[in-house]
Amino acid sequence: MSDIISRKDLDFLLFDCLDVEKLTEHEYFNGHNRETFEAVIDTAIRIAREKFEPHAAKLDHDPPRFDGTQVQIIEEVAEAVDAFVEAGFLRAVFDVEQGGMQLPYSVAQAFMAVFYAANCSTAGYPLLTLAAANLLDTHATEDQKRLFLEPMLEGRFFGTMCLSEPQAGSSLTDITTVAEPIGDGRYKIRGNKMWISGGEHELSENIVHLVLAKIPGGPAGVKGISLFIVPRYRLGESGKSAESNDVELIGLNHKMGFRGTVNTALNFGENDDCVGWLVGEEHYGLRYMFHMMNEARVGVGLGATMLGHAGFQHSLKYARDRRQGRSITDKNPASEPVAIIEHADVRRMLLAQKAATEGALMLGLYCARLIDESVVVEAGGDLESGEETGLLLELLTPIAKAWPSEFCLEANKLAIQVMGGYGYSSEYPVERLYRDNRLNAIHEGTNGIQALDLLGRKVTMKNGAALQALLGRVNATIAEAKERPELVETAKSLEVACGQAASATMALTAAAMEGKVDLFLANASVYLEMLGHVVIAWMWLMQAVVAHDQLAGDVDEEREAFLRGKLQACQYFFRWELPKVKRQSEFLGTLDDTTLSMKAEWF
């Protein structure tokens, strides 16, 4: 595991940069301190090392398969999930009175990060269950919680999210699954669902599907979507599962990566005997789902980040060990080959990985920290930042999902490149990480949809209040950095980039106000990348401030090297990546219509 998780970096981000310990000043979290946080992460690393990582390659090579009767999954998966449950991770963010740890979400994200890096496929099962459990905890009735949530938190029932359908992937408007009321808050469910992760297996007694469906007579489109609990098996007298609830496996989807997380097409109610329980009110399903989805999107971004992080660690170790070639100025073939980390182009590829993955990890944890602030506010705590927390989180979510799934995939690509032919072979894990990571730009809302969400919804909401809040915080960091002479130039670069991003935003919103909605949104993907770069640069400037101040203190040699590495990675991002913002801003300002004016028949 030392190969795939930089514990030093995790601690630096959590405790030094984000000051997660400060959360314990609030009543809700005051049962904790840095030691309890670290103990949780220690446990996660131990379990990930012992139970998750060892079978990652085996599971990829020998993924779940349907034997005609059951979905078979190598037994190491069940053992790993059991260890996860036994350690209490499923209940980590739940209240103490629910048997939970009442842990901050930021610490929970940190331990999840460990599992993502170790084996994202196996981690998928408990994490899907956790997401479903969180949703039920917020929106289900007490009865529903007793019947479904409690067995999930005990690890006896697993959860899924059933949104997509074969004919309607990203377009939830067009789902056709139907829910007919049969009384007592129960409904008969009928329809097909596609791309359902964890949709069928024998890892748990039962599977709790959270299904989006339409109740006949409801409003058209997304406003007529409701959410249902649909167990794989009916619940027996004792609450344990008994006969089938008419949820049938149509088939498994075989994928390029994430192969260990079984992915299914499911049929609900083919024999007209599938019963679901309405969650909350009719027609509010999408709203409930999106409450969960936003956290899931931050989670997807974190997963992408950690696949990139693991690839970075592997290729870094390889680059230190592998001796090949000589310095460009050394023309003597008799001299000893050097470690390839000495070659500038290899360092470029390592720095690019470091800059992308550590910047993105900071963003994932920053978002989690915002969620914690909401929790404090909800629990009655007093927080200056209370109002803007929610806005910021909404704005950052599409970035936190899409940016890492683009640039940490790029990091995985570079990890392969550093390792050459070895990186491309299944002897090393980096090719698997690359395949796994390719999914993250697709699921939980494609990156194209994130871009539309960011520009079309989040940037414009409340007259741009969220973007104002973001720029306010970025400017605060810039001001802080400017107090340090060594960081003035860096801070100014970010200031300039913020101005460029703001001016592109104004040009685009002006077009929207003139009714040119098509032009406003046509290049939203470029906008997301641009604002994403600004945000990641901000994440690096925050890290640079902390690294700078620690360097001024009394640090040993090893710590000094770590901190200098942080400053150098920050410099890399600011010199190699941030300048892209200028061109993107200029481009967006032209309201380019190349994609709009292209005709389908011209291809």
Q: Residue 401 Cβ, how far from its own copies at the closest point, in Å? A: 14
61, 78, 295, 570, 584 from 576: Cα distances, Å: 37, 44, 31, 10, 14
Which residues, 6 or more positions from 366, have their beta carbon under 8 angstroms from its beta carbon?
18, 396, 539
Q: Angle at which helices 105-139 and 75-86 pack, to 10 degrees?
A: 90
> Rounded to an integer, what distance in angstroms lies between the CA atom of residue 455 and that of residue 319?
40
Q: Residue 69 Cβ, how far from its own copies at the closest point, in Å? A: 23
Of residues 58 and 240, the one with the C-beta less far from its own copies = 58
Q: Residue 169 Cβ, how far from its own copies at the closest point, in Å? A: 5
Q: Tokens for 212?
A: 């989006």
Of residues 280 and 456, the one with the C-beta less far from its own copies = 456
Q: Residue 407 Cβ, how far from its own copies at the closest point, in Å? A: 13
Q: Given the DSSP bridges, would you call strands 157-162 and 206-214 parallel, antiparallel or unpaired? A: parallel
> Rounded to an integer, what distance in angstroms lies between the CA atom of residue 355 and that of residue 534?
13
Among 37, 113, 45, 122, CA closest to 81: 122
Q: Residue 164 Cβ, how far from its own copies at the closest point, in Å? A: 7
Of residues 183 and 553, the one with the C-beta less far from its own copies = 553
Q: Which of 388, 444, 529, 577 is catalytic?
A: 444
Burial (CB count within 10 angstroms: exposed 0-12, middle 13-18, buried 19+), residue 594: exposed
Q: Residue 565 Cβ, how far from its own copies at the closest point, in Å? A: 3
For 536, phi then psi, to 5°, come to -65, -35
Of residues 236 and 420, the one with the C-beta less far from its own copies = 420
> Rounded to an integer, what distance in angstroms lies between the CA atom of residue 161 and that of residue 299?
14
Q: Is 281 a catalytic residue?
A: no
Residue identified by tokens 């949709």 is 199
Q: Residue 286 Cβ, how far from its own copies at the closest point, in Å? A: 12
Of residues 380 and 600, the one with the C-beta less far from its own copies = 600
> Rounded to an integer, what distance in angstroms lies between the CA atom of residue 537 and that of residue 579?
11
Among 494, 501, 584, 585, CA closest to 539: 494
Q: Residue 504 Cβ, how far from its own copies at the closest point, in Å? A: 14
The one-letter amino acid at 571: Q
Burial (CB count within 10 angstroms: exposed 0-12, middle 13-18, buried 19+), residue 25: exposed
> Rounded to an integer, what distance in angstroms lies between the CA atom of residue 198 and that of residue 160?
6
> Rounded to an integer, what distance in angstroms lies between the CA atom of residue 75 and that of residue 278?
34
Among 508, 527, 529, 528, CA closest to 518: 508
At 193, is the secondary structure helix, strand, or coil? Answer: strand
Q: Residue 45 Cβ, how far from its own copies at the closest point, in Å? A: 20
**Quick check: 239 and 161 in contact, CB under 8 A?**
no
CB environment 515-537: b (16+ within 10 A), e (fewer): eeeebbbbbbbbbbbbbbbbbbb
Of residues 33 and 335, the one with the C-beta less far from its own copies = 335
Of residues 143 and 290, the one with the C-beta less far from its own copies = 290
Of residues 36 and 568, the one with the C-beta less far from its own copies = 568
Of residues 339 and 383, the one with the C-beta less far from its own copies = 339
> Rounded to an integer, what distance in angstroms lies between the CA atom of residue 101 and that of residue 99?
7
- Please give the positions annotated as active site: 444
